[in-house]
Structure 1
Amino acid sequence: MSSTNRTVVVTGIGATTPLGGDATSTWEGLIAGRSGVKPLEQDWAADQAVRIAAPVAVEPTEVIPRPQARRLDRSAQFALIAAQEAWKDAGFEAKAGEDSTVDPDRLGAVIASGIGGVTTLLDQYDVLKEKGVRRVSPHTVPMLMPNGPSANVGLAVGARAGVHTPVSACASGAEAIGYAIEMIRSGRADVVVAGGTEAAIHPLPIAAFGNMMAMSKNNENPQGASRPYDAGRDGFVLGEGAGVIVLESAEHAAKRGARVYAEAVGQGISADAHDIVQPEPEGRGISHALQNLLDRNDLDPAEIVHVNAHATSTPAGDIAELKALRKVFGDDADHMAVSATKSMTGHLLGGAGGVETVATVLALYHRVAPPTINVENLDPEAEANADVVRGEARKLPVEGRIAALNDSFGFGGHNVVLAFRTV
């Protein structure tokens, strides 16, 4: 089946995050304005300059049988938990082929990770050094592969239309979802399981990010450390987890009577070509991604009432994004309620786009925007460029068709913007 104009919809959602072990508890935490950031209690944290992070609320071994968990990197464990929830939430009873409502040859999986199996790699290297060659796990290579999470999700649902792993740093999860939309639009698949995952709370990544001066060192106040748009923000807080959605052609969803959360309107992509780490300060690359989204998709800026911003709580990045929104949308930006959910979840790196897509879709479905917490002194540049939802959740328009954006940007200058709309 070939098509380039098929409508794509979201029929299932799943997540495991610092706020909850599933999408429902995560959403409840976001609306309540609850922080998932905690002090690191591991022995190795004592020597770190950064001693806080946002671990998952529910350990994966409480959900996945231990024999299976031992063969999966932590990032793959998260992805599998979120994907299984999304798959079930979409109404599928079993894997493709066993469930007659989905053809495995028309089913894809696109699960991204910015870093991949970093904990497996580093832990098994320690085993090699301390215990010798023969003690290294034979499962090490499939566990550390960046495509491990996607491959395991593909195996779990029986996907044969294609299994893919975009790797574009903190834009990875959003890029995976954009790729999945295109798979359905182009006719390659009818259903795609897509999202992002990350598990990098480990001494090496934390030391490296800390030495880059990219992370908050507000160790005395963990829950207040991630503070996008606050004038005193001093860097992001590392989080972990996964967010996954089930995307489907509208025709396929209607045929099986599926519940639809939202329409996946499309994506806009660009690159800064500016610096490997620093964002382009005026947000030019982000502006190009936003304009690309508008040019390539049927989207009226007047419909957009909500933005789940990338907003990691870094001094430069937060403002560059808002400048781009103002540049592209002008006065229309005044009616866009901007939420920075990383203030609660921390920054999930390659998993951020997946989790924040779940939040964006649910914001439309329930017509409420989550708050940005910890903004005690709003940065004047943020105030001048955007309407930031602070303190408490805000109701979105209850009537008519509305749309929302999910922004994701990553080291290397990767920019991805996703758009969703009520149905």
Structure 2
Amino acid sequence: MRAHARLEVAVTGLGLVIPAGTDPGSAWETMTRGRCLASPDPELSGLPVAFSCRVDGIDPVQELGLRLARRLDRFIHLALIAARQAMADACLEPTARLSHRVGVVLGVGSNSLATYLTEFNRLDAHRPHRVSPLALTRSVPSMAASEVAMDLGIHGTNFTIASACASGATALGVARDLIRAGACDVVLAGGSESARSPMTAACFHQLRALSQRCTEPHLAARPFDRERDGFVLGEGAAVLVLERRDHARRRGARLRAVLRGFGSSADAYHPTAPHPQGLGAEQAIHTALTDAGCRTQDIGHINAHATSTPLGDATEADLYLRLYRGTPPPVTAPKSIIGHALGAAGAIEAALTVLSLEHQQVLPTANLFRQDPGRELDIVRGRPRDIPMQAALTTSFGFGGQNAALVFTLP
């Protein structure tokens, strides 16, 4: 791995609220067990697919207070809790002097369809006077970043990125580039999403994107498995504190990792299907590696996008085999355990990649029994695998052909 001459951006804080746990420590411990967390979901009762991976163990009222919890939607609840964790982990408190140099960039794939479903029902019942005046401010994607800024007193750059399932990863890459450009010293970056809406579930079912294993939810998410039949809806949030390395050193902050490479691209091919050869995804990975000053052989493990769809996983496996001209490094697929959190997935998996580097372990993949013939990857399963590594790659690919890749290294 070549030394990078440009400004280094470190990860100095981490917040994680996912089905596996409501803080980084508990989430990591659960992820190492390698078991799918899908179960019947009361919110989806009566639908053709009525199970999901959901975040349990948090009480928004207890965490945020009654007034704040009531006026916000769930995806913002998750974002605020993760952001508070990340700031505490970084031992960082914006002051009036510094807060304009601190930014917030979050990825959210969609607005809150659960809120809109309720309000549209009131319109359909010819009761417009019953539509909540908070319907917009609690549900539009931009409010995730805005509410984090208001909650923490952050006055710097603030916006939300929506690039489908690549939103969270793209937010991290853009945030890093804001720091490199000198616009910020620190950025809280990541993503938040709650995909457990009846409308979301119905739409994805109609697209034939969801697994149909309704009698065995715990076996439904099967990335790279021959019997995969679609993904499992999930939810969660991850926020990373990205900070100029010299700024972090001056204040004595712990450096958890360095976000060294970022690449993005568009397939410009199809609204829902990936490019058959994965050319856009490959371009994003090449860009990230070049940006990081890395070669493919420098990457210790790949955190795959791997949603468990028949076409998507096949294209992704072919891509890694082609990229490495043989056997790629060990691969993990976290959506097999926690489902697909859509716009937040890339940020969640970036956080897990940072933890993998810290622990020098690759997480196991659940429900992998047999791979496609001719597409065999070295996928970790059963238990975590100890691997000495300096760098790791995480990928995110979304509807519309939006691709993002990130390279993290040890500090």
The gaps in structure 1 that reach 5 residues or longer are none
One-letter amino acid of the structure 2 residue matched with residue 165 of structure 1:
T
Which residue of 2 is the match for residue 142 of structure 1?
Answer: 137
Q: Are the counterparts in 1 of residues 292 and 407 from structure 2 also a CA contact under 8 Å?
A: no
How far the C-alpha of 1:25 sits from its partner, in A, is 1.3
Which residue of 1 is the match for residue 407 of structure 2?
Answer: 419
Give the SS at the match of 1:264: strand
Which residue of 1 is the match for residue 9 of structure 2?
Answer: 8
Q: Are the counterparts in 1 of residues 168 and 346 from structure 2 also a CA contact under 8 Å?
A: yes
Which residue of 2 is the match for residue 66 of structure 1?
Answer: 66
Superposition pairs for residues 96-245 of structure 1, below 5 Å?
96-97=94-95, 103-130=98-125, 132-245=127-240
Q: Distance between the aligned counterparts of 2:325 and 2:397, measured in 1?
A: 21
How far the C-alpha of 1:353 sits from its partner, in A, is 0.7
CA deviation map 1:237-269 (0-9, x unaligned): 000111111000100110011111111102011
Which residue of 1 is the match for residue 51 of structure 2?
Answer: 52
| TM-score, length of structure 2 as denominator length | 0.95
Give the SS at the match of 2:325: helix
> Is 1:256 the equivalent of 2:241?
no
CA deviation map 1:340-373 (0-9, x unaligned): 0000000000010111111000000110010001
Which residue of 2 is the match for residue 342 of structure 1?
Answer: 335
Q: Are the counterparts in 2 of residues 181 and 266 from structure 1 also a CA contact under 8 Å?
A: no
Q: Distance between the aligned counterparts of 2:366 and 2:186, measured in 1?
A: 36
How far the C-alpha of 1:281 sits from its partner, in A, is 2.1
> Is 1:34 the equivalent of 2:48?
no
Q: Are the counterparts in 1 of residues 16 and 27 from structure 2 also a CA contact under 8 Å?
A: yes
Q: Are the counterparts in 2 of residues 371 and 392 from structure 1 also a CA contact under 8 Å?
A: yes
Superposition pairs for residues 321-340 of structure 1, below 5 Å?
321-331=316-326, 333-334=327-328, 336-340=329-333
> Is 1:388 the equivalent of 2:379?
yes
- Most deviating of 405-414 and 203-212: 203-212
| TM-score, length of structure 1 as denominator length | 0.92
Q: Are the counterparts in 2 of residues 60 and 81 from structure 1 also a CA contact under 8 Å?
A: no
> Is 1:373 the equivalent of 2:366?
yes
The one of 353, 356, 360 equivalent to 2:349 is 356
> Is 1:404 the equivalent of 2:392?
yes
Q: What is the RMSD computed on CA atoms of the aligned residues?
A: 1.6
Give the SS at the match of 2:227: coil
- Most deviating of 118-127 and 252-261: 118-127
Which residue of 1 is the match for residue 78 of structure 2?
Answer: 78
Q: Distance between the aligned counterparts of 1:281 and 1:390, measured in 2?
A: 27
Q: Distance between the aligned counterparts of 1:365 and 1:289, measured in 2?
A: 25
Q: Are the counterparts in 2 of residues 190 and 252 from structure 1 also a CA contact under 8 Å?
A: yes
Q: Are the counterparts in 2 of residues 290 and 328 from structure 1 also a CA contact under 8 Å?
A: no
One-letter amino acid of the structure 1 residue matched with residue 84 of structure 2:
Q
How far the C-alpha of 1:131 sits from its partner, in A, is 7.8
Give the SS at the match of 1:321: helix
Which residue of 1 is the match for residue 288 of structure 2?
Answer: 293
Q: Are the counterparts in 2 of residues 13 and 245 from structure 1 also a CA contact under 8 Å?
A: yes
Q: Distance between the aligned counterparts of 2:66 and 2:121, measured in 1?
A: 22
Q: Are the counterparts in 2 of residues 265 and 299 from structure 1 also a CA contact under 8 Å?
A: no
Which residue of 1 is the match for residue 22 of structure 2?
Answer: 21
- Aligned identity (percent) is 40
How far the C-alpha of 1:301 sits from its partner, in A, is 2.5
Give the SS at the match of 2:397: strand
How far the C-alpha of 1:91 sits from its partner, in A, is 0.8
Aligned residues: 406
CA 78–131 in structure 1, closer or farther in 2 if over 3 Å, else same: farther
How far the C-alpha of 1:60 sits from its partner, in A, is 4.4
How far the C-alpha of 1:55 sits from its partner, in A, is 1.1
Q: Are the counterparts in 1 of residues 222 and 367 from structure 2 also a CA contact under 8 Å?
A: yes
CA deviation map 1:58-77 (0-9, x unaligned): 24424221211111111111
> Is 1:89 the equivalent of 2:84?
no
Q: Are the counterparts in 1 of residues 261 and 290 from structure 2 also a CA contact under 8 Å?
A: no
Q: Distance between the aligned counterparts of 2:262 and 2:316, measured in 1?
A: 16
CA deviation map 1:250-293 (0-9, x unaligned): 00110011111111102011111111000112211111111111
The gaps in structure 2 that reach 5 residues or longer are none
Q: Distance between the aligned counterparts of 1:307 and 1:296, measured in 2?
A: 17
Q: Distance between the aligned counterparts of 1:106 and 1:300, measured in 2?
A: 33
CA 338–234 in structure 1, closer or farther in 2 if over 3 Å, else same: same
Q: Distance between the aligned counterparts of 2:59 and 2:317, measured in 1?
A: 36
Q: Are the counterparts in 2 of residues 281 and 317 from structure 1 also a CA contact under 8 Å?
A: no
